[in-house]
Chain A
Amino acid sequence: MSIHGETQGAGRVRGLKCRLCGRRYPKQALNFCTEDFGPLEVEYDYVAVARSGLSRQAIESRPRTMWRYRELLPLDGEPAVGVQVGGTPLVRADRLARALGHRGPLYVKNDAVNHPTLSFKDRVVAVALSKAVELGFRTVGCASTGNLAGSVAANAAAAGLEAYILIPDGLEQGKVIGCSVYGARVVAIAGNYDHVNRLCSQIAFRYGWGFVNVNLRPFYAEGSKSMGFEIAEDLGWRAPDQVVAPMAGGSLVGKLHKAFVELKQLGLIESAAPRMFGAQASGCNPITQAVKTDAAKVRPVRQPATIAKSLAIGDPADGFFASRLLRETGGWGEDVDDDAIVEGMMLLAETEGIFTETAGGVTVAVARKLIEQGRLDADGTTVLCITGNGLKTQEAVADRVARPVVIRPTIEEFEALVGSPAADLVPAGA
């Protein structure tokens, strides 16, 4: 099986191709075109994918992980890292829908419970590190706002790879501990994410390491498609009418869309015309600003200032493509302030029992704003992408949630607190 898989895989994945000039490159750890600096993207042979016999039935018969769509992920062999990633729940969110004034079916794609590190980053890391192993890297790394840090650290540990994790200083404690615990070399950079990212761009090639979101980025980014594949399958093999996703570097929203387009191309769904909506924090909104002003260029934000630290990328690599996609699909980009972010987190928790991190608060709050504006069709089928877990950013809501009342363990004190039980619940004769 593995040998056949390897042969088929090598045939399905042609190589890398520049999104600007179309120049082709063999499969390698390279993220940009050496002719024009354009982004490199994995190129598939979709005829070979179709010929491989990929069908709804074939996919449904496989284990519920992201690898059930392996023909559309850029490995030559079987995955070596993150074999259990994906397969997260698509939750029908009727209570949230009522609170938001959304009349059509509303769903939450809950990657806050992804395995193993509770964010959608496990998907991209599973692909990037599996590819790193295929390419022969022994040392891997990343520039991270937190979630990626934890995911690279954990998955590298499980695969026996050495990992260097570079993060901005001042990240949430949950995210710092959540990567240090795996034994990775964690380096905090005095600066913001964009400083970290630039340093990683210099380090990756200088040291010859496999940086998941630098030189391995074309492979890494493809992992996000699995979130879109799962959404379509769980909707009964169809694309939603509307998707709301958070934007940091701006890659996810594009890969979700690509996932639906690929499924359509392969005849696995009938149509793929979802309107894509992107969510940012007002304190770091380079992409939504470009959408709202119909700008040709994304102006970077020098000093991001938001509690949504996982989205605090002032100079988003895929900002240009994301802003174009939102406009072209009839979607939109919107941003919300920190108070709205916390309200969004609490609303999702209180209506659906899902505790998301600040980025999820951004997504929920932006969805509410878009519905109020009438930009999001309240009668459509809508999916909100929740990408991270609230246990990692507890600081954001610590002052907003009620603290428990302390009483002595007596009936009297309990009754003093909550009142006497209703009369009809009191047993006769009591």
Chain B
Amino acid sequence: MPTVQIPTPLRPHAGGLDVVEAEGATVGAVLEAVVSKHPALRERLFEGGELRRFVNVYVNNEDIRFLEDLETPVGERDEISIIPAIAGG
């Protein structure tokens, strides 16, 4: 099952977990499964069905904006990371 890494400050909203397993064939489907399990994450990650402006998502270290965004396919062993965009510079 694909895994999703939760950033530290959001772990209280994910039952304290740093990694969540969730089914799904695309990034969007996996994240939907995650926010269904942990509803407090939904509004924090999504706005009107789209990822919020300052939420970056990676599949195996590749930014999904360079892939197919939420439609990016994921396999059983893929690792999805949610990372706040506000850093660096």
* Per-residue A-contact encoding for B3-22, CB less than 8 Å = 1, 0 else: 00101111001000000000
B65 neighbours in A (Cβ, 8 Å): 299-300
Q: How far is the CA of A206 from the CA of B52 in the complex (A)?
A: 23
Closest to A300 in B: B65
Asked if B85 and A37 make an inter-chain contact with CB atoms under 8 angstroms apart, the answer reads yes
Partner of B88, one of A214, A299, A320: A214
Asked if B83 and A201 make an inter-chain contact with CB atoms under 8 angstroms apart, the answer reads yes
Q: How far is the CB of B65 from chain A (nearest CB, A)?
A: 6
Q: How far is the CB of B13 from chain A (nearest CB, A)?
A: 8
B25 within 8 A of A: no
Main secondary structure of the interface of B (DSSP, over half): mixed
Closest to B13 in A: A34
A327 within 8 A of B: no
Most B Cβ at <10 Å: residue of A38, A201, A214: A201
A248 neighbours in B (Cβ, 8 Å): 89
Partner of B54, one of A37, A193, A206, A217: A37
Partner of A36, one of B7, B44, B66: B44
Partner of A213, one of B7, B58, B83, B87: B87
Closest to B66 in A: A302
* Per-residue B-contact encoding for A184-204, CB less than 8 Å = 1, 0 else: 000000000111011011100
Partner of A37, one of B13, B52, B58: B52
Interface residues of B in 35-56 (CB under 8 A from A): 43-45, 47, 52-56
Asked if B88 and A317 make an inter-chain contact with CB atoms under 8 angstroms apart, the answer reads yes
B84 within 8 A of A: yes
Partner of B9, one of A38, A205, A297, A318: A205
Asked if B55 and A37 make an inter-chain contact with CB atoms under 8 angstroms apart, the answer reads yes
Most A Cβ at <10 Å: residue of B44, B52, B85: B85
Asked if B86 and A35 make an inter-chain contact with CB atoms under 8 angstroms apart, the answer reads no
A214 neighbours in B (Cβ, 8 Å): 87-88
Asked if B84 and A249 make an inter-chain contact with CB atoms under 8 angstroms apart, the answer reads no
A358 within 8 A of B: no
Given A30-B9, A34-B9, A37-B44, A200 and B88 touching (CB < 8 A)?
yes
B71 neighbours in A (Cβ, 8 Å): none
B76 within 8 A of A: no
* Per-residue A-contact encoding for B59-89, CB less than 8 Å = 1, 0 else: 0010101100000000000000101111111
Q: How far is the CB of A171 from chain B (nearest CB, A)?
A: 15
Interface residues of A in 313-349 (CB under 8 A from B): 313, 315-318, 320
A34 neighbours in B (Cβ, 8 Å): 9-10, 13, 44
Q: How far is the CA of A194 from the CA of B87 in the complex (A)?
A: 10
Asked if A217 and B86 make an inter-chain contact with CB atoms under 8 angstroms apart, the answer reads yes
* Per-residue B-contact encoding for A263-276, CB less than 8 Å = 1, 0 else: 00000000000000
Asked if B7 and A205 make an inter-chain contact with CB atoms under 8 angstroms apart, the answer reads yes
A355 within 8 A of B: no
Q: How far is the CA of A200 from the CA of B56 in the complex (A)?
A: 14
Asked if B85 and A317 make an inter-chain contact with CB atoms under 8 angstroms apart, the answer reads yes
A74 within 8 A of B: no
B55 neighbours in A (Cβ, 8 Å): 37
Q: How far is the CA of A371 from the CA of B10 in the complex (A)?
A: 47
Closest A-B pairs by Cβ, 8 of them: A249-B89, A205-B8, A197-B88, A37-B54, A32-B84, A39-B86, A214-B87, A32-B86
Binding site for B on A (CB under 8 A): 20, 30-32, 34-40, 143, 193-195, 197-198, 200-202, 205-206, 211, 213-214, 217, 248-251, 297, 299-300, 302, 313, 315-318, 320
Q: Can you give 18 contacting A-B residue pairs, CB < 8 Å?
A: A32-B84, A32-B85, A34-B13, A37-B53, A37-B84, A194-B63, A201-B83, A201-B84, A202-B83, A211-B87, A214-B88, A249-B89, A299-B65, A302-B66, A313-B89, A315-B56, A317-B87, A318-B89
